[in-house]
Amino acid sequence: MQKSIIFGIVGLIVGLTVGFFAANSINRNSAQTVSQPATNAPLQTSQVPNILVKEQPTAGGAMLPDISAVIDRANNEPTNFEAQVKAGDLYQQIKGFDNAAAFYERAHQIKPDDYDLIVKLGNTRFDARQFESAAEWYERALKKKPDDTNVRTDLGITFVERATPDFERAVSEFQTSLKTNPKHEPTLYNLGAAYFRQGNMEEANKILAELEAINPNSQLVGRLRQIIKS
Average pLDDT, the chain: 81
Q: Name the residue with higher pLDDT: 20 or 133.
A: 133
Domains in the chain, CATH or no CATH each: 1-23+60-112 (no CATH), 29-58+130-230 (1.25.40.10)
Distant-in-sequence, close-in-space partners of 82: CB < 8 Å, separation ≥ 6 = none
pLDDT value at residue 230 = 75
Triad 103, 3, 81: Cα angle to 5°? 25
pLDDT value of residue 120: 98
Condensed to tens digits (0 to 9), the pLDDT of residues 125-141 reads 999 999 999 999 999 99
Whether the pLDDT of residue 208 is over 60: the answer is yes
Listed in sequence order, the residues at least 6 apart from 214 whose beta carbon sits closer than 8 Å to its beta carbon are 183, 185, 188
11 vs 45, which has greater pLDDT?
A: 11
Asked if 204 and 34 touch (Cβ cutoff 8 Å), the reply is no
Banded model confidence at residue 6, pLDDT cuts 50, 70, 90: low
The string of pLDDT tens digits covering residues 27-68 is 343 334 344 333 222 232 333 334 435 555 444 555 544 888
Q: State the pLDDT at residue 54.
A: 57
Percentage of residues of the chain with pLDDT beyond 70: 72
pLDDT of 212 above 70: yes
In sequence order, the 6+-apart residues with CB closer than 8 A to the CB of 81 are: 107, 110, 111, 114
Q: For the whole model, what pTM was predicted?
A: 0.77
What's the pLDDT band for 108 if we cut at 50, 70, 90? very high
Q: What percent of the chain has pLDDT over 90?
A: 70
The pLDDT score that the predictor gives to residue 55 is 54
* pLDDT score of 9: 54
DSSP line for 29-81: S-EEPPEEEETTEEEEEEE---EE-SPPPP-----GGGHHHHHHHHHH-TT-H
